[in-house]
Amino acid sequence: MRRVFGWLRGRVELGPLLIFLAVASGFWAFFALLEEVREGETLGFDERILLALRAPGDLSQPVGPPALHELMRDFTALGGVGVLTLLTLVVAGFLSLQRNRATAVFLLAAVGTGILVSTLFKEFVARPRPDLVPHGSIVGSPSFPSGHSLMATLVYLTLAITIARTQSQLRIKTYVVLVAVALSLAVGISRVYLGVHWPSDVLAGWALGAAWALGCWGIAEWLERRRRMFSKSKTVDS
């Protein structure tokens, strides 16, 4: 393995390659789920998970004590439009005050395009919300993909990447990314627990959100390298 990685390092930039593979995997997972959903292949799996999260004999009650239900409502709020929009604007404003406007623009572009993509796929697929159990939260849009899961993954992962790029220690980078992943997982699980999304909606939201965040990051890295190369070229010419 050392020889293989040594050979690769000398011939391939591993960073861009890994980003590409991660983005491709995310998009593949999303479109594979989309095909399965449109063919009705996920219905059995979705129903089993939803019913497993309900009290036996009373589908109106989720499993666990009332405190768990309230906790899930708190988690789902972390993926709400208001919370994520406010968080994005606050961070973008902070970056602008630091004269890091390029990163602020990258953040706003990633989140803005993610919202657009989520909306377009929801309207295209037009999957109804689950009707097996009562909804524990107000909903008004189609079900696939889960917008909360998609946008939470996109926003928290993008913010984590932005912070991690400023750190030199691997353990800090890892910690920041793991926090983003944990928040995304909590939001997605809460949507299924509250009965407002099928599990496959959430899986698709996670996949597309991660792919979109990593794709935007890859584009930003590429543009930054181009800018540095251009700057060096101008310095040499002068």
Instruction: Enumerate the active-site residues.
Output: 148, 197
Question: DSSP letters of 176-228?
Answer: HHHHHHHHHHHHHHHHHHTTSS-HHHHHHHHHHHHHHHHHHHHHHHHHHHHHH
DSSP-derived letter for residue 54 is E
Report d(CA 199, CA 52) in Å as an integer: 12
Q: Helices (H) and strands (E) in the chain — how many of each?
A: 9, 2
HSE (side-chain half, CA atoms, 13 Å) at 152:
29
Here the tokens at position 21 are 């593979």
Phi, psi dihedrals of residue 9, rounded to the nearest 5°: -60, -35
The identity of residue 228, as a single letter, is R
DSSP-derived letter for residue 168 is -
Question: Strand ranges (DSSP E) for 9-69?
Answer: 54-55, 58-62
**Separation in Å, CA 96 to CA 58, 73, 107, 161, 220:** 52, 33, 11, 17, 17
Burial class (CB in 10 A: 0-12, 13-18, 19+), 185: middle
Helices 147-164, 199-237: axis angle to 10 degrees equals 30
